Amino acid sequence: MLQDKLRKLYSNFKYFSRIVKTYTLQKYNIFEILVLWSKRQLTRFQFLVLSGIIVGFLGGVAGICLKTIVHYIQVNLMGNLSEQNRMIAYGTLPIIGILLTTFISRYIYRRREEIKLSSILIDIAQHESNINRKETHSQMVQSAITVGLGGSAGLETPMVITGAAIGSNFAKRYRLGYKEKTLLLAGGAAAGIASAFNAPIAGIMFSFEVLLTGIVFSDFIPLIIASMCGSLLTTVVLNNDILFILGKRELFDYRNVFYFVALGLVSGIYSRYYILIGHKIKKILQKFKYGSFRRALIGGIILSSMCVLFPGVYGEGYINIKMLDQGNIHSLINQHIIDFFSGHEAFIFIMLLLTTLAKAVATSATLNSGGVDGNFAPSLISGGLLGYTFGYGLSLIGFNHVPVTNLMLVGMAGVLSAVMYAPLTAIFLIAEISSGYDLFIPLMIVSVTSFLINKYFSPINPEMIHLAGEGKIFTSQLDRNTITQISLMECVEKDDIIMNNHSTIAEIYTRFKNTDKSVVAVVGEDGYFFGMISRERLNQVMSKTDQSHIITASEISEYPNGFVMKGELMQNVVRKFEESDTWYLPLVDEQHVFIGFISRYLFLKRYRALLKELS
């Protein structure tokens, strides 16, 4: 019986394979044909689960490859260098990395604008979650060079973009809908984070907090499966030298709560500094065109200078946190400077503090000069440095039993929470990588305090605030998100009645008799919009005059209470509909040439359809 079923299933697959190869215009390999066949055999939910496994596996492979490549680049370049040669490497490799990345971006990928995390959010809101296929590999190549050669940034954002691109293109390949495509996009991103840290819960939280803001999902099981697959693959393949694992910590003591509250305040202030210094350097470097070698050179010089003065800002920085976890503070400071000041503890504290401040400068120089990377890892490392420095300073001034290692761990969560506006991601990430689930209370205290301080200054992540204002990305407001997805041209009436301003009202009346339209546009010879005439307005005029062959359209046309400019935000159109209390608004271009009527009915129809699709 079982053999018959298997034989029938195999025959079914062979027949389907022949059909696909014979009649489809696209070319599919045997794996893709198997997936297509599975799609026909499985229910929608079952196929989404299968898709989650495949996307999670591919996202995990991408993340593992990237981390492994960067690890071995750094080991081979910096592994056995003397102190003097190490300083030379700090002064040259970061510049080379930024310039080489700029060259590849400009001449190989021919990129005209920077691809960041916000680009994925724009794709979700504006482009039906379609991500350019080249992002499945371009981010990996460029970020490996940037970070491998000393860029003071992280690989997590490139992993997220790569995983999201894998999920989006997988869904597109197999013709899945918007909801399914967005879900697999988020699953690929979650797999990227999960594979980077072997932290599946953090990957899921990141997708919900950052990528899926304002999007309602009920089928989140594929997202969980994708994150789990990415993490599982990391567990099997990577060793502890590459993974960021912190095992040394102390048990939480409620008597230390004061330290964590104080660290939460300090983390909030530092995170604000981190964001502001980033915007300051970005503003300076944006004076030069994106992709220009002058911009890359200036940013590279700033970065290399920081690396020479403060070696702790070189590269991702995870190795430095591991060193601090082991009590090896001197690895973060230039040995010549330590020798000059005889290793005095107060001097070491000052150097740790300056390194923490310099990390924000070095990261911003890397991100804005042409490097391909993100803020995820730098905010973690900065938080770790801040927490350790804070604990070291408390011990220095006489406090006893200061949990320095715990302060370092929760400091990482505090800065990540505030910089990325993702407190849950920060809490679960640190809990997972340190196996410190007993630290949930201090993690919550520091993360929430730091997050609220920065939320006071900006309710939305400062990197996203202008995009949210322009309606290019989703926010927590579901109604606004739905309106954002509606384009002006979707609401334009077809076959509008357009009359010349010299037309008589008799001619207009004849046109009205042969259509169900309720409004006519009055334009000049060059298409310039003069006004509009409603059916009711025309009937009123016709009933009061017998000179319908003499009175022209321009004499009775009414200028609307509002009109819509081409390219205007849909939120503004909705507001104008409410203010003017009308069913039609004219759409005009910059020269005031009439394009068509925006219909309130078409808008509401599209709005209801989107609500149904997203619910």
Higher pLDDT, 79 or 280: 280
Q: What is the pLDDT averaged over residues 76-105? A: 85
Q: In the chain, what is the greatest distance between 2 CA atoms, to the nearest angstrom?
A: 105
Residue 496 pLDDT level (bands cut at 50, 70, 90): low
CATH classification (class only), 254-477: mainly alpha
Residue 590 scores a pLDDT above 90: no
| CA–CA separation, 415 and 295 (whole Å) | 28
pLDDT of residue 267: 95
- Tell me the pLDDT tens digit for each residue of 18-70: 666 665 556 777 787 788 878 888 888 899 999 999 999 999 999 999 988 98
In the chain, domain spans: 29-237, 254-477, 486-614
Q: Is the dihedral of CA 511, 516, 518, 519 positive or negative?
A: negative
Highest mean pLDDT among 40-54, 481-495, 572-586 belongs to 40-54
Phi first, then psi: what are they for 458, rounded to 5°? -150, 115
Residue 382 scores a pLDDT above 90: yes
Q: What is the pLDDT averaged over residues 5-11? A: 70
pLDDT of residue 427: 94
- Tell me the pLDDT tens digit for each residue of 151-166: 888 888 899 999 999 9
First to last CA, the chain: 43
Q: What is the pLDDT averaged over residues 396-402? A: 86
Residue 336 scores a pLDDT above 60: no
Query: CATH fold of 486-614, please?
Result: CBS-domain (3.10.580)
Residue 475 scores a pLDDT above 70: yes
State the pTM of this model.
0.83
Angle at 470 between CA 467 and CA 471, to 5 degrees: 85
- Mind giving me the DSSP string for 72-138? HHHHHHHTT--HHHHHHHHHHHHHHHHHHHHHIIIIIS---S---HHHHHHHHHHSTT---GGGGTH
pLDDT of residue 159: 92
The CATH number assigned to the domain with range 29-237 reads 1.10.3080.10
Q: What is the pLDDT averaged over residues 107-117? A: 80
Residue 14 scores a pLDDT above 90: no
Residue 568 scores a pLDDT above 70: yes
pLDDT of residue 30: 77
Contacts of 124 (CB under 8 A, 6+ apart): 182, 185, 211, 215, 473, 474
- Tell me the pLDDT tens digit for each residue of 235-292: 888 776 677 777 677 788 888 899 999 999 999 999 999 999 999 999 898 888 877 8
- Tell me the pLDDT tens digit for each residue of 113-171: 777 888 898 888 888 889 999 988 888 999 999 998 988 888 888 999 999 999 999 99
Residue 5 scores a pLDDT above 70: no
Give the rounded percent of residues in the chain with a pLDDT score beyond 70.
89
Residue 494 pLDDT level (bands cut at 50, 70, 90): confident
- Tell me the pLDDT tens digit for each residue of 593-613: 888 788 888 888 888 887 776
Residue in 448, 441, 444, 154 with CA at minimum distance from that of residue 321: 154
Phi first, then psi: what are they for 558, rounded to 5°? -115, 135
- Fold match between 254-477 and 486-614? no
Higher pLDDT, 431 or 536: 431
Residue 340 pLDDT level (bands cut at 50, 70, 90): low
pLDDT of residue 373: 80
Q: What is the pLDDT averaged over residues 224-235? A: 92
Spatial strand order in the sheet of 519-523: 497-500, 519-523, 529-534
Beta strands 519-523 and 564-565, pairing class? unpaired
Write b or e for each residue in 123-153: b if 16 or more Cβ atoms lie within 10 A of its Cβ, otherwise e.
Answer: bbbbeebbbbeebbebbbbbbbbbbbbbbbb
